[in-house]
């Protein structure tokens, strides 16, 4: 029998003769796409009832409604609570889409398990297949018209260990529509006039094609002139099918371009045939967002990817800001809908340049900034298909845990219809009351626990499957909240096991990174370790999430309770043993103040403390010496700055670290951020508070003289919900209302980040928030007093106050007295 190897890219199913055929779309090493058809797997779920006689009743009732059903009594472990296997009824169906109906009737006789697992994932879990991993399949030749790539009939699958990714093809797109000036383009009426495409790798020696919906006679070889919109969309479909991309990219494609194109195709009656299967494109509109699925291809939206990254944050996420920041390139600037219409009629060349650039920038973000690396690895680790990795963390854990459950004979609860709430609240972590002020007489050591919550889960075997609900076992851990978990010797929990694997794998990769030579390998490894970290660290969040399948309040509370106990113990251990003081700590960290001024000596003590504490705590709990603050300024809980020293390759490297304060917050204007950075650096590095005060006065002076550019005064805040849902009055919300009034074509405002400046006047601040562009256009006057009193002064004052300088002293000096008089 023939064998083929491929990387799993997409999975779905089609119905044939009343039974499903699973289709596995795979990528081969040379980039070729194949489809493996698998016959004979049927959808099923479990029903559990304490009363076994219910199974017979259920069978009878279900059989009459669904005569084709098959039943088996099997033994499985229930997921929550330590116990032995129970008899459960396995109900085997035929058409996956009918399972919800069957479940609904079955639930009259017991509790359904795994009845809401998508069929493709049901199949993948049972056959141990994971997204983006490599398999070897035994195959027979197979002919079908239903897919557009080479297909085989698969007989069996085997996992193989390959780290690399198959080469993928990327198509980036951006559309332009034409609409009346004052509203959002509506796919029901407003045509698409341009579809701009960019390719990686090249398509027929071109890296770009711009389709336009009229004959303009441009003689530009990048431009494909079409008869009309319908012709253009048809050509677009042809190009997609010929180029056959794996990934379709676009900036905000998920919420604009993709649904728009599909709705236009519906309006014009064109077949939406650009997936890897015949009837293959599906678009769902949800309340705020829409979602497009294209069989065999993956839609990647750099806008959504960047926006959801908690590590790299931007003040705004418009393509121009992002391109400038990440690619050092800019978008071509034209105005709004009005200009598009004008250019379409008068200056189509400029419009083409504009549209062309957007598609290229979106593509470059993905290919040059490697935005997808993380998701490739997340897919491999969680087992999800690539297209589902962009979504929420819950899904990653659900499939990952399901896979493990299947192996060990556990069954997974259905997703709760309403969020679980326990009797008690989920109590979080401890934040130590900080010793506010500037600490620069001796070094402050920072130590923290590596992956605290995962470590606790592993150490105390915390898992729904080990939760002890009776007195059947004597060997257990009792958490501070009284929850009990059987020890590892009795049964190792599934979740601790998963976490252990994630942590071990990460340690291995981090080691490999140290000896990695080329950049490509290093990047791959870094993406791997990052994905592992994300998975491990978010497990606790999943367990404390009310809609999680495995939510049990005492378990979530046990984790945090252990965490609180642990950090208290740590503080005590350190202070009892060493002549030091813990001056701050948050969740998993301690900030240890010493009298040592020498870096190397401080490091030595740090390592010693770390070892001592780790040795005196149970299990895999590991306190790590992180860095030294030569000077450390703490303002309040979660707000501090320090001059940090870390050893890199045997050499001390210093930098200013800032947490929580205005410099790292996106809802303060840049002027504040810049000034604070300058002042903090002076205080921390030079301990010259008078100089710092002078620096502040200079800035205030500049502000009073109107020398500060508008960009530095712009405050940016996000709109998090529909404007009508706001109860209070807030600057950015009030401005958003104004913007929508002025430009009804603005589009969806939820999720937008609004930049504003405060102009002079007597009204509420909120009513004086104005769009910087508008201020420029109408030459409005900035309220310098607001910027001094409400932006600059409060944060600066807070810093100086803990250093022992009052506001009055800060503003001292003849110039400054008059400065305040000026307003």
Partner DNA sequence: TAATGGTAGGGGAGGAAAGTGTACCCATAT
Partner DNA sequence: TATTGATATGGGTACACATTCCTCCCCTAC
Distance of CA 48 to the CA centre of its chain: 36
Residue 249 near residue 319 (C-beta atoms within 8 A): no
Query: Within positions 91 to 120, which residues make up the interface with DNA, using CB under 7 A?
Result: none
Q: Between residues 229 and 586, which has the closer beta carbon with respect to DNA? A: 586
Of 31, 201, 409, 428, the residue at the interface with DNA (CB under 7 A) is 428
**Distance of closest approach, residue 100 Cβ to DNA, in angstroms:** 8
**The tokens of 339 are what?**
């200009």
Residue in the block written with tokens 């992956």: 451
- Which of 176, 244, 448, 770 binds DNA (CB under 7 A)? It is 448
Which of 90, 338, 487, 666 lies at the binding interface for DNA (CB under 7 A)? 666
- Count the alpha carbons within 13 Å of 620 in the hemisphere toward its beta carbon: 18
Q: DSSP for 512-571, please give it.
A: HHHH--SHHHHHHHHHHHHHHHHHHHHHHHHHT-TT-TT--HHHHHHHHHHHHHHHHHHH
- Tell me the closest approach of the beta carbon of residue 637 to DNA, in angstroms: 4
Q: With binding defined as CB under 7 A, does residue 635 bind DNA? A: yes
Of 305-364, binders to DNA (CB under 7 A) are 313
Write phi, then psi, for 455 (nearest 5 degrees): -65, -40
Q: Which of residues 551-570 bind DNA (CB under 7 A)?
A: 560
Binding positions for DNA, 364-403, rule CB under 7 A: 388, 391-394
How many residues in the shown chain lie near DNA by CB under 7 A?
72
Least Cβ distance, residue 444 to DNA (angstroms) = 13
Block residue for tokens 């055929």: 21
Contact 14, 20 (CB under 8 A): yes
Choose, by CB under 7 A, the member of 25, 157, 545, 800 that binds DNA. 545
Contact region for DNA (CB under 7 A) — 26-34, 103-111, 206-214, 428-436? Answer: 428-436
Write out the binding residues for DNA, residues 216-235 only, by CB under 7 A. Answer: none
Residue ranges of E strands in 660-790: 715-718, 753-758, 769-770
Q: Interface with DNA includes 798 (CB under 7 A)?
A: yes
Is position 206 an interface residue for DNA (rule: CB under 7 A)?
A: no
Tell me whether residue 337 or residue 796 sits nearer to DNA (CB atom): 796
413 is a contact residue toward DNA (CB under 7 A): no
Please identify which residue in 409, 794, 804, 813 interacts with DNA, judged by CB under 7 A. Answer: 794
Rounded distance, CA 323 to CA 312, Å? 14
Q: How far is the CB of 48 from DNA (least distance, A)?
A: 23
| Residue 783 interacts with DNA (CB under 7 A): yes or no | no
431: contact with DNA by CB under 7 A: yes
For 329, 395, 596, 693, the CA distances from 687, given in Å and listed in that order, are 40, 50, 17, 12
Nearer to DNA, 382 or 587 (CB): 587
Sign of the CA dihedral with 649 first, then 650, 651, and 656 last = positive
- Residues 781 and 369: their CA atoms lie apart, in Å, by 40
CB atoms within 10 A of CB 472: 12
The dihedral built from the CA positions of residue 606, 609, 612 and 616, taken in this order, carries a sign that is: negative
> Under the criterion CB under 7 A, does residue 587 sit at the interface with DNA?
yes
Which of 131, 191, 544, 772 lies at the binding interface for DNA (CB under 7 A)? 544
Binders of DNA among residues 274 to 313 (CB under 7 A) are 284, 286, 288-289, 291, 293, 313
Q: Count other Cβ atoms within 10 Å, centred on residue 527.
A: 19
User: Of 128-136, 644-652, 657-665, 777-785, which segment contacts DNA by CB under 7 A?
Assistant: 657-665
Rg (CA), the chain: 30
- Residues 612-631 touching DNA, rule: CB under 7 A, are none
Alpha-carbon span 415 to 426, nearest angstrom? 20
Binding residues for DNA restricted to 725-744, rule: CB under 7 A: 725-733
**Considering only 49-57, 148-156, 188-196, 791-799, which stretch makes contact with DNA by CB under 7 A?**
791-799
Sequence-distant (6+) residues with CB within 8 A of 6 are: 26, 27, 28, 34, 36, 134, 135, 137, 166
729 by Cβ neighbours in 10 Å (0-12 / 13-18 / 19+) ranks as exposed
Among 87, 721, 760, 817, binds DNA (CB under 7 A): 721
The reply to whether 677 sits near DNA by the rule CB under 7 A is no
Contacts (CB under 7 A) with DNA, residues 691-710: none
User: Would you count residue 530 as binding DNA (CB under 7 A)?
Assistant: no
Nearer to DNA, 364 or 753 (CB): 753
CB of 214 to DNA, least distance (A): 36
Contacts (CB under 7 A) with DNA, residues 462-501: none
Using the rule CB under 7 A, is 718 a contact of DNA?
A: yes
Query: Residues 638, 760, 776, 815: which binds DNA (CB under 7 A)?
Result: 638
DSSP 725: G
- Sheet with 223-225, side-by-side order of all strands: 223-225, 206-212, 192-203, 170-177, 247-249, 298-300
CB of 343 to DNA, least distance (A): 33
């Amino acid at each position: 029998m023939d064998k083929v190897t491929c990387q799993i890219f997409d999975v779905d199913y089609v119905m044939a003769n009343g039974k499903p055929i699973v289709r596995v779309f795979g990528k081969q090493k040379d980039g070729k796409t194949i489809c493996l058809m698998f016959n004979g797997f049927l959808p099923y779920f479990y029903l559990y009832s304490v009363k076994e006689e219910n199974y017979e009743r259920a069978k009878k009732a279900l059989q009459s409604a669904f005569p084709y059903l098959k039943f088996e009594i099997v033994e499985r472990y229930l997921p929550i609570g330590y116990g032995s296997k129970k008899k459960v009824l396995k109900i085997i169906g035929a058409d996956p889409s009918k399972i919800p109906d069957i479940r609904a009737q079955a639930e009259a006789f017991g509790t359904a398990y795994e009845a809401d697992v998508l069929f493709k994932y049901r199949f993948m879990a049972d056959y141990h297949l994971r997204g983006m991993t490599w398999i070897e399949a035994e195959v027979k030749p197979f002919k079908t018209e239903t897919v557009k790539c080479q297909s085989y009939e698969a007989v069996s699958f085997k996992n193989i260990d390959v780290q690399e990714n198959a080469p993928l093809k990327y198509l980036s797109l951006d559309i332009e529509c034409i609409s009346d000036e004052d509203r959002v383009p509506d796919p029901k009426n407003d045509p698409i006039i341009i579809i701009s495409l960019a390719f990686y790798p090249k398509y027929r020696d071109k890296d770009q094609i711009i389709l336009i919906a009229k004959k303009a006679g441009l003689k530009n070889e990048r431009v494909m002139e079409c008869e009309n919109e319908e012709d253009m969309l048809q050509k677009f479909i042809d190009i997609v099918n010929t180029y056959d991309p794996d990934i379709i990219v676009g900036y905000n494609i998920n919420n604009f371009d993709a649904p728009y194109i599909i709705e236009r195709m519906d309006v014009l009656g064109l077949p939406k045939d650009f997936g890897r299967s015949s009837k293959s494109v599906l678009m769902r509109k949800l309340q705020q967002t829409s979602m497009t699925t294209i069989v065999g291809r993956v839609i990647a939206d750099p806008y959504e990817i960047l926006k959801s990254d908690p590590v790299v944050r931007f003040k705004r996420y418009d393509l121009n800001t992002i391109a400038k920041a990440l690619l050092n390139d800019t978008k071509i600037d034209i105005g709004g809908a009005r200009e598009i219409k004008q250019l379409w009629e008068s200056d189509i060349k400029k419009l083409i340049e504009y549209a062309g650039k957007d598609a290229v920038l979106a593509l470059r973000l993905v290919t040059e900034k490697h935005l997808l690396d993380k998701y490739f690895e997340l897919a491999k680790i969680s087992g999800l298909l690539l297209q589902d990795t962009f979504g929420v963390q819950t899904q990653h854990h659900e499939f990952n845990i399901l896979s493990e459950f299947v192996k060990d004979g556990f069954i997974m609860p259905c997703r709760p219809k309403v969020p679980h709430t326990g009797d008690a609240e989920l109590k979080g972590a401890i934040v130590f009351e900080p010793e506010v002020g500037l600490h620069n007489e001796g070094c402050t050591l920072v130590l923290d626990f590596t992956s605290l919550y995962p470590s606790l889960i592993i150490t105390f075997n915390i898992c729904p499957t080990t939760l002890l609900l009776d007195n059947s076992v004597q060997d257990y851990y009792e958490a501070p909240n009284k929850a009990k978990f059987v020890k590892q010797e009795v049964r190792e929990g599934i979740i601790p096991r998963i976490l252990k694997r994630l942590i071990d794998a990460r340690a291995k990769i981090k080691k490999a990174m140290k000896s990695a030579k080329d950049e490509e390998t290093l990047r791959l490894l870094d993406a791997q370790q990052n994905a592992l970290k994300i998975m491990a660290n978010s497990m606790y969040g999943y367990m404390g999430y009310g809609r999680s399948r495995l939510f049990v309040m005492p378990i979530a509370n046990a984790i945090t309770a252990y965490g609180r106990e642990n950090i208290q113990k740590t503080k005590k251990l350190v202070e009892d043993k060493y002549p030091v003081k813990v001056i701050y700590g948050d969740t998993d960290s301690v900030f240890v103040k010493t009298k040592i001024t020498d870096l190397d000596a401080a490091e030595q003590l740090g390592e010693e403390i770390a070892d001592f504490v780790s040795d005196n705590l149970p299990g895999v709990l590991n306190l790590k010496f992180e860095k030294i603050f030569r000077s450390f300024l703490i303002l309040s809980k979660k707000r501090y700055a320090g001059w940090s020293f870390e050893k890199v390759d045997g050499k001390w490297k210093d930098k200013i670290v800032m947490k929580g304060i205005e410099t790292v917050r996106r809802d303060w204007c840049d002027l504040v951020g810049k000034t604070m950075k300058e002042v903090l650096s002076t205080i921390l590095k030079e301990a010259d508070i008078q100089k710092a005060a002078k620096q502040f006065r200079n800035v205030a002076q500049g502000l009073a003289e109107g020398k500060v550019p508008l960009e530095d005064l712009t405050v940016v805040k996000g709109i998090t919900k529909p404007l009508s849902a706001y109860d209070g009055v807030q600057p950015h919300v009030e401005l958003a209302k104004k913007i929508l009034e002025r430009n009804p074509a603005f589009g969806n405002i939820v999720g937008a980040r609004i930049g504003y400046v405060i102009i002079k006047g007597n009204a509420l601040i909120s009513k004086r928030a104005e769009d910087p562009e508008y201020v420029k256009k109408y030459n409005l006057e900035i309220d310098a007093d607001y910027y001094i009193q409400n932006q600059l002064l409060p944060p600066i004052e807070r810093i100086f106050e803990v250093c022992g300088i009052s506001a009055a002293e800060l503003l001292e000096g003849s110039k400054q007295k008059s400065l305040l008089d000026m307003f």
